[in-house]
A and B are shown apart, each in its own frame.
Chain A
Amino acid sequence: MSNNYQKIVKGIMYLVLVLCALMALYPLYFMLITSLKGSAEYVHNKLFIPNNPMVDNYTYVWVKGNMLRYFLNSCLLIPAGLLLYLFVCITAGFAFGRLKFPFRFALFLAVLFLMIFPQMLLSIQIFQICRKLNLINNYAGLILVWVAYFGPFGTYIMTTYYATVPIEMVESARLDGTGVYKMLYYIMVPIAKPMIVIIIVIGTQSMWSELPFSLLLLQTESLRTMTQGIGLLKGQYGLDDTILSAAILSASVVPLLLFLFFQRQITMGAYSGAVKG
Chain B
Amino acid sequence: MKIRVKVVCVLLMLIPSMMLWSAGTKEQGSAKADGAAVITIWDFKYGDVQGVQPAMNKIDDLIMKNNPGLTIKHVGQPNDNYYQLVRAAVQAGQGPDIVMFHGGVQAYEFDDYTIGMDQYIAPWRSEISEFSWAYCSEGGDGSKPVHMVPLTTQGFGIYYNKALFKQAGLDPEKAPSDLDSFMAACEKLKKAGIVPMVAGLQGDPYTIDFLFRCFVANIYGDNVKDLGTGRQNFKGNAQFKRAAEIVQEMFAKGYIDPAGTSTPYFMDAANNFAAGKGAMFVGLLSDVCHWKVFNDALGKDGVGYMPTINFPGATFKDQQVGQPAGIGYSVMKWSKNPEAAMKVVEAYARGEGNAIWMGMTGALSPNKNVDINSLGYPLVAKILEKPFVLDFNTLLLNEDANGNFDRYCAQAFVSKEITIDKFIDLCQGMLDNVQKAR
A237 and B267 contact, CB distance less than 8 A:
yes
The distance from the CB of A238 to the nearest CB of chain B, in whole angstroms, is 4
B275 in the interface, Cβ–Cβ < 8 Å?
yes
A83 and B15 contact, CB distance less than 8 A:
yes
Q: Which of A202-257 contact B (CB under 8 A)?
A: 215-216, 219-223, 228, 231-241
A234 and B80 contact, CB distance less than 8 A:
yes
Interface residues on chain A, number (Cβ under 8 Å): 43
The distance from the CB of A60 to the nearest CB of chain B, in whole angstroms, is 8
Total CB contacts across the A-B interface at under 8 A: 105
A236 and B85 contact, CB distance less than 8 A:
no
Chain A interface main SS type:
helix
Q: Could you tell me the distance between the alpha carbons of A215 and B81 in the complex, rounded to whole angstroms?
A: 8
B75 and A221 contact, CB distance less than 8 A:
yes
Chain B residues lying within 8 Å of A220, measured Cβ to Cβ, are: 25, 27, 75
Contact residue among A137, A140, A228, A236 (Cβ-Cβ distance under 8 Å from B27): A137
Contact residue among A83, A123, A233 (Cβ-Cβ distance under 8 Å from B49): A233
B19 and A140 contact, CB distance less than 8 A:
yes
A43 and B75 contact, CB distance less than 8 A:
no
In the complex where A79-B14, A83-B12, A241-B268 touch, is A235 in contact with B75 (Cβ < 8 A)?
A: no
Q: Could you tell me the distance between the alpha carbons of A234 and B18 in the complex, rounded to whole angstroms?
A: 29
B80 and A219 contact, CB distance less than 8 A:
no
A108 in the interface, Cβ–Cβ < 8 Å?
no
Q: Could you tell me the distance between the alpha carbons of A131 and B91 in the complex, rounded to whole angstroms?
A: 10
Contact residue among B22, B45, B85 (Cβ-Cβ distance under 8 Å from A139): B22
A265 in the interface, Cβ–Cβ < 8 Å?
no
Contact residue among B44, B49, B88, B271 (Cβ-Cβ distance under 8 Å from A236): B44
Q: Could you tell me the distance between the alpha carbons of A219 and B47 in the complex, rounded to whole angstroms?
A: 13
Closest to A143 in B: B15
B50 in the interface, Cβ–Cβ < 8 Å?
yes
Interface pairs (24), CB distance under 8 Å: A39-B271, A43-B277, A64-B49, A64-B50, A66-B49, A79-B14, A80-B14, A83-B15, A123-B84, A137-B26, A140-B15, A215-B84, A216-B85, A222-B25, A223-B22, A228-B78, A232-B76, A233-B47, A235-B47, A235-B79, A236-B288, A238-B264, A238-B266, A241-B268
Interface residues of A, Cβ cutoff 8 Å to B: 39-40, 42-44, 60, 64-66, 76-77, 79-80, 83-84, 123-124, 127-128, 131, 137-140, 215-216, 219-223, 228, 231-241
Ranked nearest first, the 7 interchain pairs of A and B with the lowest CB-CB distance are A232-B47, A237-B266, A231-B78, A64-B49, A238-B266, A43-B275, A139-B22
